[in-house]
Every structure is written in structure tokens, then in C-alpha cells.
Structure 1
Amino acid sequence: MPMPLEGLRVIDWTIWQQGPVASAMLGDLGAEVIKLESKDGGDPGRGIVAIAGQKSARLNFYFEANNRNKQSLALDLKQPEAREIVYRLAAVSDVFVQNFRKGVADRLGLGADELRARNPRLIYANATGYGPEGPESGDPSFDQLGLARSGIMFAAGEPDMPPQPIGGGIADQMGAILLAYGVLAAVISRERYGVGQVVDASHLGSMSFLQGLSLTSRLINGAAFPRVPRARAFNPLWNHYRCGDDKWIALGMLQPDRYWADFTRAIGRPGLETDARFATMGARAGNCAALIEILDAVFASRPRAEWLDILRKGGDFIFTIVNSLNDLPDDPQMIANEYIREFDHPTHGPTKYVGIPVRLSETPGSIRAPAPEHGQHTELLLTELLGYGWDEVSGL
């Protein structure tokens, strides 16, 4: 079965997470992705497990997550012969992705103007911290700084908490998603209008877009959504509660009056329906602390599995479990939708990977190859794709 980006060739000159994930997403959809790495060790993500002080025979989870479905080409880009290879490669490629600091690519002769002069249809994609313009456009950025600058650290947690970090490389991942989104738009534009172009996506722009509703509230109403303490949630039916087995359940009833009567009966507290403090949405909001205290005690009286059964049978309620990330690989919905996929790694055997979150019915993506070894495909690419002779290759 064909994949949507088959025939698209991507040069991936990126390191760490933000850039590599963007090109890996293109690879998941069938693009040929050539990871361009320095000869002296390559992408520093290759060594992140060692940096963390871990010694293990297991896969480097970080590098594997960010670099599947790629080939590795290792070159010394300070040498003119290596840059000539990149020029020849760019001439027969569709996309060039890079995430080095502003000015680095130009100094090495690998900037957008240089490469697009050789291939005007080339799409040149930049991943940055704070965008291509402005006084800090050249400043370095990592995930932590993307979280900090975007305001999301003041959106997580309770009102009296200091800024809260969010683990897992969220800003890098979001920056990658929007960079891939921009590349796909540019590919379509090229097919329609015949022109390549430069694409930019940043931590700041991506993370602010992720918070688009709250940011729009700030722009139009004058204030972003405030942090709200769980114990004083304005709508107690839009909240989460600890069950008797220390597991949590989340309620998501945005129109609470529609569910209130059935809900009170389902939880075994029918008297709450006519209690004047809780009879309407407005009354419940005014007495939210008292109601949440009651609901805390109610949900603490039974294990979560019982509450799930009660709520499913008691009405058309909107709710779900609260997972930890460690729960996700065993979540039946994750498994049924292949959000976790098993891949037969050539060295490590059957290995579970994060799946492809978008399903295409006729041209689905796939995980076809593990992250490459450093420089694994250098000779193959130079001889078979670019036509170098073996004598030339040995001299590089």
C-alpha cells in the first residue's frame, strides 16, 4: 500500500529533538529522510543516555524516538568536499530541515539562499526557539526555555504554586509538529504553484498556538485563563476526583445542568438535586468548595472500577480515567488504535514504539526502520544516489 509522502526526499540536518521529530514525522508518512550528521560523533542525542549517567544494553530511547525511518550520512561539513556533497544532495531533494542557531547554516554555506540557488523548488525548513525575527531570534533554546517563554508554566498547577515544568520534551515535540505541518503546507503549495520556500517554526510560536484559546481570551477579554484550584473548580462536574483505590477519575460535563439530576442519583446522593446550594449551575459555582468536598468523600468510598461501572449504567455521562504516562502502553484504546506499535528491531527484536497518531485509510504511514547507526548509510548514499566512485568516497 502506498504511503502519502513516497518519493519525497528530505535532508535532515538537525540535532536533539525539535528538528529530528519533525523529519521523523515526514519519514513516518513515507518520505525518504537522510540524516546529515557530523563525522565526530553526530547528533548529540546519540549520547544522551550516557550523559545521564546510565549504562545499559537497551536502546537509546531518546534517539530512537526522534530518528526512526531515517538514513545516516556522516560528513565533516567544515571541508569543501563535504559541502559539495550537500549541494549535490540538495539539488535532488525536496526538503532541507535544520535547527542550528541563526547564522550557523549561512557561515557553513548551507543557508536557504545558498541551497535554493541550486534548487529553487527546495523547501528549506528552520526550527528555532523564538522565531526568525526580533532581537532574540538568534538566541539558543531548549525545551525548558520553550516552556518558560510561552507562559505554559504558569498555566499548569494550582494558583499558589511556582512555575511548573512539564516533562517529556513538550515544547520540542510541539515545535516539531508545527514544523512538519509547515513543510507539508509548503509541499502542497509547491505542487500547486511551482515554487519552493522557507518555512519557520519556533518553540515560542508553537507553544503559544498550543494555548490558543487561553491566549485569545487574553487578547480579547484582557486576561488568560487563570489557574484554578481543584478544590474550588467553578464547575464541579468538570473536575477530577480520587477514588477509594487511590486511582483518579475525570468528569467532563460542560453543560452540567443537563446531567445533574441523573448524576446525583447515580452516585447515591439524590438529595443533592434539590439542595438549594447545588440546584443550578450558578448555585453550584457559588458553593463549589462545599460540593467538591462532598464529591471527594463520595468518590473515595469506592474503587475506580466500580465508579466506572456505575457511571456507565447510570446515565449518559461524560467521564474517563486519569492515566499516568506509565499507564498508556496498557490502555486498551491505545492498543486498539495502534497508538503503541510493535516493531521488530533488527538488533533488539520486538520493541514497542509510539505509533502514528493520524490514521489515513488508503495511504497509511508506517514504522519501517529503526534509528540509524552513525554514518550507517554514507557509502550507499554517496555511490548509489550521488554517483560517487569508490576512490572518491575513500578520499573523503
Structure 2
Amino acid sequence: MSGPLDGIRIIDWTIWQQGPVATQMLADLGAEVIKIEERERGDPGRGITAVAGSATNKGGRNYYFEANNKHKKSIALNLKQPEAREIVHRLAARSDVFVQNFRKGVAKRLGLGYADLAAHNPRIVYASASGYGPEGPDSGEPSFDYLGQARSGIMNAIGSGSTTPTYVYGGIADQMGAIMLAYGVLAALFARERTGVGQEVDASHLGSMMALQGLNVVARTIMGKEFPRNTRANAYNPLWNHYRCADDKWISLAMLQPDRYWKDFCEVIGKPELIEDPRFAEVKIRGKNSAAVVAIFDQVFATRPRAEWMRVLKGSRGDFIYTIVNSVTDLPDDPQVRANDYVVDYDHPALGNLTLLGMPVKLSATPGEPRGHAPELGEHTELLLTEMLGYSWDDVARLRDANVI
């Protein structure tokens, strides 16, 4: 089965994570992605040597680059040379999408801005991954994931019991920026099917991370106050909380209508006396005394291992809403993850068997393919020049001698 973007060609002039992940997501959906890399060193993401320890696998392969650049073809160009920019123009004339994530003004100075490429292909979708959006006083400022988390407010929204900003490792601002950029590209491609013309797309760290926190942001804009950074010890609704079990594993409850579940839940956990306790009569009163409830629940859950609590809750009549609290380390072995192919196994030609992220979205007729590997620097340069763009082998030799490729 093919992917929904089969036949779509994307030129990927991006580095690090936000841009590369966006184009990789589109490649997973079947698009052909041609990655333009700097002639000597390539995407600087190839040089990452320390992410959660060593980032270099056997054979010099880099896990960070591999994770962000599956399926792609690599063409290595010296964009300071006019002939290299001409190659990009010829690629753009034969492509559907151009994606870049360099600082504002860089592409235009090199003759690779939207107007430049649209002159060669008015149907092209020109997508930019930015830090803070295309307008405003900081639109030209550089940004990385750390700054995307800082500027968007999420560092002050997560965590509990502290006023210290908290950074989430793994590049979540880059990941969210990538998701929103891919979303924008898909919307622009759909619009082009109806109108016949391309357009510019921008997705920023700031805008994407605000979208991720939508309800919290709107609470501030409409109600005048963001959600508080409460601790689990004083959760207003003790049935919307997480608890440590006897084996130091955690269980999470998510019963948003607590009065509906309160009586059955108290009985199942062996605390029927709480049902008639006036301090816990209904949700508002219970909320005022929530610290006392949480303390009781802490003691109760600490008496049995998590697997046993899962069986108790599953076997009861209460139709409770709950699950385990995973660590990232747990995810690849979670049977629910495996059943839905949220991670998949792949036989990498250089690294052997790897477990990769699968498709987060399921399409029954055109599912896409998450298995693949990243290219070596410039691996497809000659192939693309000769087979797609019509250069002769003498042209290729001349361009190589002139340090264009």
C-alpha cells in the first residue's frame, strides 16, 4: 500500500530538528524528500556527539541525525556558488514544496526566497520553520528548542510545587514546531489542488507551543488566569491524580466527573467509610479537603503493587478511568504501543536492527511507511543531477572541480 503523499516532491533545506522532522513526517506519508546539505559538513545535526550520553553509533552514524532524516535523499551543494543556486532553482521547478529553517533573510539573500522560487514554479509551497513567527520585533532572532520552550510559557506551566522553570528534554518545541509545519504544508497542498497556486507557510516554536497549551492559554485570555501549578498532594479532584504503589510504580486516575465514581471507588479500594464522611460529601466540599483525601489514597495505594491495583480496578463494577504511568524507557515494551505499531522494528543497512517511531496517525488505505534510514552526506548528488535535472557526467565533473558540489 502506498502513502497519501506519493508523487509529491519536497526540497528540504533544513538543519537540526524542527525542519528535518517536519519533512521526515511528510516522507513517512510517501513524499519524496531531497535534502540539500552544506557541501563540506552537511547538516550540523550530523555532528551531535552528546545527547543523553553518546549520540554516535557504530560506523560513525549519528542517532540524532538518523532519528530526524529517514527516507531522504541527500544532495551536497556549496550555495555560495551561483551554479549551486541554479541547481536549487531547477529542483524547485520540478518540486511541490520547499522547506527551510534558516534565520529570516538568509534565503532571500541567497536567491532562495519565496519570490525567487515562485518565479520558477508558481505552484510551489514555500514553508519556513521559525522561532517566533514571520512578523514582529523578534522575527529575525535565532531560536533553538530551549528558547522555544522558554518563550512559550511551558517551562513555567509544567512541574509542581516550584517556581523554577522546568525544561523538558527531547526537543518538544522542535517536535511540535515540526508537526505544525507539516500540518501547514498539507493544508497548503490541499488549497493548491483547488486554486492551482502555491503559497508561503510559517510555523514557529512560539506559535506551535502556544497551540500545544491551547486550553491553558485561552484560560488566561478569556478568564484572566492560567491554570495554577498545583502539586499532586493538594489536587482539587483526588480522582484526577496519580499515586505511588507498593512497588514504586505509579498509577494515574482520570475521572473528570468524580461524584459519579466516588461511592464505587471508595468501596473498591477498601475505604467505604469515606462515602459518608461529610468532609468528602461532594466535589466542591471534597476539593476544599483534597489534601486529606490524597493523603488517604497515598496510604491505600502504597499497600499493593501496581499490577494488583490494575486488576482490582479492572475487575470492579465502577467502570473507572485509569492507566499506568510510564517512563519513556517503558514505552517500546508497552503492549499497547506495540499493538498499534507506534514503534516499529527496522533492519538498518549499517546499524542492524533498530526500533523506530511508527506512524502516530492511522490511515486504512494509504498508511505510509515509518521504516527507513537517513542518507550519507551527498549520497544522491550525482543521481539527482543526471537523472532528474539532465546534467551530463561532464557537467558533474566540472561542478565537482569548481567546488559547487
TM beyond 0.5:
yes
- 1:145-156 → structure 2 map (5 Å cutoff): 145-156=147-158
Displacement of 1:107: 1.0
Work out which of the residue numbers 262, 265, 274 in structure 1 matches 2:264: 262
Tell me how large the CA RMSD over aligned residues is. 1.2
Displacement of 1:53: 6.1
Work out which of the residue numbers 101, 121, 133 in structure 2 matches 1:119: 121
CA–CA separation in structure 1 for the residues paired with 2:199 and 2:57: 43
1:57 matched residue in structure 2 = 58
1:42 matched residue in structure 2 = 42
Identify unmatched segments of 5+ residues in structure 2. 400-405
Partner amino acid for 1:373?
A: E
Contact 1:257-1:280 within 8 A present in 2 as well: yes
Contact 2:152-2:206 within 8 A present in 1 as well: yes
CA–CA separation in structure 2 for the residues paired with 1:318 and 1:299: 16
CA–CA separation in structure 1 for the residues paired with 2:243 and 2:95: 53
1:12 matched residue in structure 2 = 12
Partner amino acid for 1:28?
A: D
Identify unmatched segments of 5+ residues in structure 1. none
Displacement of 1:369: 2.9
CA–CA separation in structure 2 for the residues paired with 1:29 and 1:3: 5
CA–CA separation in structure 1 for the residues paired with 2:171 and 2:289: 38
Work out which of the residue numbers 304, 307, 331 in structure 1 matches 2:306: 304
Residues 142-187 of structure 1 deviation map (CA, whole Å, 9 limit, x = unaligned): 0000000000011111142300111110000000000000000000
Work out which of the residue numbers 333, 350, 374 in structure 2 matches 1:330: 333
Contact 2:57-2:63 within 8 A present in 1 as well: no
Displacement of 1:49: 2.1
Contact 1:123-1:187 within 8 A present in 2 as well: yes
Work out which of the residue numbers 376, 384, 388 in structure 1 matches 2:387: 384
Residues 257-287 of structure 1 deviation map (CA, whole Å, 9 limit, x = unaligned): 0001110011011111111111211121010
Contact 1:101-1:140 within 8 A present in 2 as well: yes
1:357 matched residue in structure 2 = 360
Displacement of 1:50: 6.1
CA–CA separation in structure 2 for the residues paired with 1:35 and 1:268: 60
Displacement of 1:313: 1.0
- 1:80-95 → structure 2 map (5 Å cutoff): 80-95=82-97
CA–CA separation in structure 2 for the residues paired with 1:337 and 1:37: 34
Q: Which runs of 4+ in 1 moved over 4 A?
A: 50-56
Partner amino acid for 1:372?
A: P
Q: How many residues matched?
A: 396
1:346 matched residue in structure 2 = 349
Partner amino acid for 1:304?
A: R
Displacement of 1:97: 0.1
Normalised TM-score (structure 2): 0.96
CA–CA separation in structure 1 for the residues paired with 2:172 and 2:190: 27
Work out which of the residue numbers 317, 320, 324 in structure 2 matches 1:317: 320
CA–CA separation in structure 2 for the residues paired with 1:161 and 1:309: 38
CA–CA separation in structure 2 for the residues paired with 1:252 and 1:380: 54
CA–CA separation in structure 2 for the residues paired with 1:60 and 1:340: 19
Seq. identity, %: 65
Partner amino acid for 1:115?
A: L
Contact 2:11-2:35 within 8 A present in 1 as well: yes
* Greater CA drift, 42-51 or 371-380: 42-51
Displacement of 1:348: 1.9
Contact 1:102-1:137 within 8 A present in 2 as well: yes
Partner amino acid for 1:57?
A: K
SS in 1 for 2:187: helix
Normalised TM-score (structure 1): 0.98
Contact 2:56-2:62 within 8 A present in 1 as well: no
Contact 2:16-2:43 within 8 A present in 1 as well: yes
1:223 matched residue in structure 2 = 225
CA–CA separation in structure 2 for the residues paired with 1:213 and 1:368: 34
CA–CA separation in structure 1 for the residues paired with 2:300 and 2:5: 52
CA–CA separation in structure 1 for the residues paired with 2:295 and 2:371: 51
Residues 82-110 of structure 1 deviation map (CA, whole Å, 9 limit, x = unaligned): 11100100000000000000011011111
Displacement of 1:2: 2.2
Displacement of 1:349: 2.1
Displacement of 1:326: 0.4
Contact 1:343-1:367 within 8 A present in 2 as well: no
